[in-house]
Structure 1
Amino acid sequence: MTSVSVGREFDLLLVSSWDKSVRLYDATANILRSQFLHSGPVLDCCFHDDSSGFSASSDNTVRRLVFNSNKEDILGTHDAPVRCLDYSYAAGQLVTGSWDKTIKCWDPRGASGQHHTLVGTYPQPERVYSLSLVGHRLVVATAGRHVNVYDLRNMSQPEQRRESSLKYQTRCVRCYPNGTGYALSSVEGRVAMEFFDLSEPSQAKKYAFKCHRKSEAGRDIVYPVNAMAFHPIYGTFATGGCDGYVNVWDGSNKKRLYQYSKYPSSIAALSFSRDGRLLAVASSYTFEDGPKPHEQDAIYVRSVNEIEVKPKPKVYANPPV
């Protein structure tokens, strides 16, 4: 699997895969509702609404998927595989990022094969690895540790051009639900917490921490952090790594809240439902050690207990009076 997305109705689950398919599940009934076949591995997917979604494929296409009719049409193309996408409800646009070193914005409303829906094409410094949206703000993470921050209402140039504070390749970027910043994860078992506000007090709050590591025979074994997902209610977040673990973090208080039991394989993708009650976990070997026998890929949908995701109150040595 490459991506999982939980719909606005929490029983819908959209899954993209290296097997060239996108599947729509009814997670509550545990049944497959629709399946769409592409001509190449599908690297990302997201919902438009409860009746349609979008997919990003290594065949260079961006597709719109209509669930009830099981139909799809090509919304547009890039010049290289399309790595990631997300839909902005604030702007009514789909944003796609590609290894052709561009992001593109699309207006999918009323689109068909005969209509041009491309809003704009925006060059990036390197191949796009991950992107994330919150409100009108877009964060794009590329190869070479570049990070561009945009306002979707004025895409003529980035609001901010940054360099990742992590030393190694970026795997995932996700915006905070409250719109104040974003988290970056890397192949070297670290996560960085960043803030949009460039003032000195805000920048003093940023930090990075180690995760998805273990010590063995005196050596530190480090695993890529492939996936992150923020809880929509509490603003805490889950990380998934090639060690097969999912951890939940309280970023504000710099603490790990919970670690789920180990999954059979690497964690490739994570997604919370909109009400925060469910977490979809894609356990899928990501070939970090090359071709080898591995466990069968699987999607796990788990109920989330409040104790796992709710920040714990601060404990004061001398309570204020």
Structure 2
Amino acid sequence: MCAEALYTAGTGAFFGAGLTASRVHLPSVIIDQFQLTDFHMFHVFAAATGSSAAIMLALDKSGIIGRPVRSNTPLGRFSAYDGNILGGLMVGVGMALSGACPGTVLVQLAQGISSAKSTALGALLGGGTYVRFLHLIKKESPQEGTKAAVLSKQTISDKLEISEAVSYVFLGAAVTAILCLTGTRAGSFPISPIAGGLLIGLAQAASLLLTSGPLGVSTVYEQTSRYFLRALGNERVGKLSWPPNAIIFALGVVAGSTALVKQGSLPDVSARGLQIPTWQAFVGGFVMAFGARLGRGCTSGHGLSGLSAMSFSSLVAVIGMFGAGIVTRLLMKALDV
């Protein structure tokens, strides 16, 4: 158990350092992406996803670790992917409001960004609300056979009925197009976004090899809330997991980010860019974390890990995240919010 916790914390530290080095934790970087004024975040995301996909494919084909394809998240409302759709949309809106995603909130806390505490508090409340009221949100099927039929781990090639090779060609073409057809402010940060993305890809490799699981962050808000609600005597939260790997991983992210800057490997640019109002950060954190748990994944779980494993459910969620984030931010700009 001690070794498992150590590996989990170490993987979190590697991931936190990668997020910090790539600078995708800065609110200005996330907001500029959604306003379509700078594509630094897209470049990091593309490089990280492309390298993660190559790593997962190599490990899968070599028989070391199977590809961690993510299942869909049905709520029983209007589609077998309704949880992924609604969750993805909410994550995008929350990111556009807060200038953070569930993973980068932890790095923002480590770097002392002013809005981070409000975002984190909202995210914890969002995770707690999900835990407390999930039984009202998810419509259980009266027939177990029907319920099982809508829950599946389909890849993009399975769903679109194309070969696996073609799906990987499409992913490679998408990554190449993003890197070649969009631009970033050259020289704005110590390392290029592509290098930052590759560091995150290496963190993915560490996670798969050391913990046998892919990267993902948003579970920490649910897990922390479960412990808190159970301490208050709420039995509905169910059995608590031990060790609390999501919390250990999150602490590793904070430690890795802090260590990278404190040892002088990177300059501290935590004050760079715009400041998010307190109320906006809180609301954004709540919506973002609630949505991430509703869809069972965030930009790390669905975007980096799920999409790299070619999960169709993750493709649906990621389209919702970026689409909702862009629309939200453009509306805010048009309304001068």
TM-score normalised by the chain length of structure 1: 0.24
TM-score normalised by the chain length of structure 2: 0.23
Relative contact order: is structure 1 or structure 2 higher (C-alpha 8 Å, sep ≥ 6)? Answer: 2
Q: Which has the larger strand fraction?
A: 1
Q: Which has the larger helix fraction?
A: 2
